[in-house]
Structures are given as structure tokens and as C-alpha cells.
Amino acid sequence: MLLAIDIGNTNTTLGIFQEQSLIFNFRLTTRIGQTMDEYGIFVRNLLSLAGIQRDTLSGMVVASVVPPLDDVIETMAKKYLHIEPMFIRPGIKTGLALNVESPSEVGADRIVDCVGALSRYAPPLIVVDFGTATTFDAVSENREFIGGAIAPGLKISAESLFQKAAKLPEVPFQKPEMAIGRNTVTNIQSGLFFGYVGLVNGVLSRMKAEVGENSQVIATGGLASVIFPESTLIDTIDEDLTLEGLRVLFEKNHERY
């Protein structure tokens, strides 16, 4: 079995694969202050909850955009799981050419998403990952990562508004009944919700014009299910896309681990 871990700025997702099938997945809050032992005990408890013995794990693969946690997770894996983890870093085989100005600057999470998408869908592709930041990744018909866009995530956008505009109340994020709000709460909800849908559709429209109008648009990430019904350009949601990408990358490089 394979343990796949995606460490994001806000959430960390863990998945357990039996061959090519994802049989369990868990999501927890990313906490930089937690120790190696705390993570180790937590992961061991999750495995126990899933009825999985530690010695049935044959590998572990990690994508992280939180560098302070890399050593913590690596040490945890060795001590508690007796596994040498594979991290998604420059130099591994991906099968994805990075046709951009600075390949080393492309985040591991974006590479993983594109690899996962290519394992399930035919290019050209645009992958939208709704996380702490929302990333738009373009893959050409030749299976090349050709760039994309990065926008503030919904949560960051809302938090910034509430922090900088002292008189505006903090409101729950949800779709209002109408675009024209009749009170302060629905005004804010309209701006956040429909404004973000407009951002997503606007970026996708321009990217499709550049990549190709036949591009499939795949959405993933925590808020994908919220935006998908409102977007005219997203074709499908794939909630496990990042974990699938991690599995594929491990298979391409497993002889080293």
C-alpha cells in the first residue's frame, strides 16, 4: 500500500492506495507548530482507524508547499512508519515537460495536479485548484505545462476584506439569492461569491482562447464543488486529482525508494 500526503498551506490531505485504487482519504488542518511525534501518533491513529497495519505500507510520497514541515514529515515517516518518503522535488521523473521561463519555480502541487489530470483526461487541459490560493494550470496538447495563473483564494479574499474594512461585518461565505443585495450581509456575500465566479470564468475564458477552445477544464480543491455549479467553463470536478497525481509520480520513481 502507498501513503500519499499533500501538505497545503491550509489543509493537509492523506490518501491510502491499494495498487491504483484510493481506499481511504483524510483531511486535517496544516499546523506548522506540531512536532514530529505529534504527526507520527496522528498518522498511526489514522491507519489504525482505517484498519491498516503499518507494515503493509510499502511506500510514501509527499507534495509540500510548506517547507518548515518537510523535515518534520520525513523524520516522522522514518521513525513511526519505517519508510523513506519520496518528496516531489526537482529531479524526479514526471513525464511532464515544463515549458516555462523558470521551471524550478513551479510549485510541487501544480506539477502533481497536472500529472494527475494527464493520467485521467486527454490534453489540452486546464486544471483549477481551489486552495489557499487558486491556481490555474495549462497543459498543451503535447503534454507540456505551459504556465497558468495564481489568484488569491476565496478565504484569503474574504479575510482581507474583513480585516481592512473595519466597519464591514464578517459574514458566512454562501451564495446569496440575488446579485443585488438588500442589506450589508447580502451585499458582501454577493461581492464575494459572484465576484469570485466572475474571476474564475474570466481567467478560464482567456486561457481557453490561448490553449485551445477544446481544452477540458478540471476543477479540484476544497471549494471546487461550490464554484462548479456557477461556472460556465468548468467541465468536471475531480476531488482526488492531487492524490492521484502523487500515486502516478511514485510509480514513475518508486525504484529509488
Q: Which among 26, 56, 87 is the end of a domain?
A: 87
Which of 141, 150, 135 lies closest to 242, judged by CA?
135
Asked whether residue 252 is domain-assigned, the answer is no
pTM above 0.85, yes or no: yes
Q: Is residue 253 part of a domain?
A: no
Phi, psi (deg, nearest 5) at residue 114: -70, -40
Count H helices, E strands: the chain? 7, 11
Residue 128, domain extent = 97-245
Residues 104 and 222 in one domain: yes
- Sequence length of the chain is 257
Classify residue 151: in a domain, yes or no.
Answer: yes
Burial class (CB in 10 A: 0-12, 13-18, 19+), 219: buried
CATH code for the domain in which residue 122 is found:
3.30.420.40
Residues 118, 215, single domain; the answer is: yes
Q: Which residues pair with 44 in a beta bridge?
A: none
Q: Report the alpha-carbon distance of residue 186 to residue 257 in Å, rounded.
A: 53
Q: Is 174 among the domain residues?
A: yes
Q: How far is CA 164 from CA 79, 134, 178, 181, in A?
A: 44, 21, 25, 21
User: Which position among 37, 55, 71, 109 bears the catalytic label?
Assistant: 109
Angle, to 10 degrees, between the axis of helix 184-211 and the axis of helix 154-164? 140
Same domain as 229, residue 154: yes
Tell me: do 238 and 123 sit in the same domain: yes
- Which of these three, 66, 87, 108, is where a domain ends? 87
On whether the CB atoms of residues 220 and 235 are closer than 8 A, the answer is no
Q: Could you tell me if 182 and 222 lie in one domain?
A: yes
Claim to verify: residue 52 and residue 106 sit in the same structural domain:
no
Tell me, what's the pLDDT at 256? 57
Residues 213, 233, single domain; the answer is yes
For residue 178, tell me if it sits in a domain. Answer: yes
Q: How confident is the model at residue 227 (pLDDT cuts 50, 70, 90)?
A: very high
Average pLDDT over residues 222-235: 93
Residues 193 and 226 in one domain: yes
Tens-digit pLDDT profile for residues 17-74: 999 999 999 998 999 989 999 999 999 998 998 888 888 999 999 999 999 999 999 9
Give the residue from 135, 136, 119 showing the smallest Cα distance to 9: 135
Considering the domain architecture, whether residues 149 and 127 belong to the same structural domain is answered as yes
Q: Is 109 a catalytic residue?
A: yes
Q: Are residues 81 and 120 in the same domain?
A: no
- Total number of domains constituting the chain: 2
Positive or negative CA dihedral for 141, 142, 146, 151? positive
pLDDT at 167 over 70: yes
Tell me: do 230 and 153 sit in the same domain. yes
Average pLDDT, whole number, for the chain? 93
Q: Of 87, 110, 143, at which residue does a domain stop?
A: 87
Question: Do 228 and 177 belong to one domain?
Answer: yes
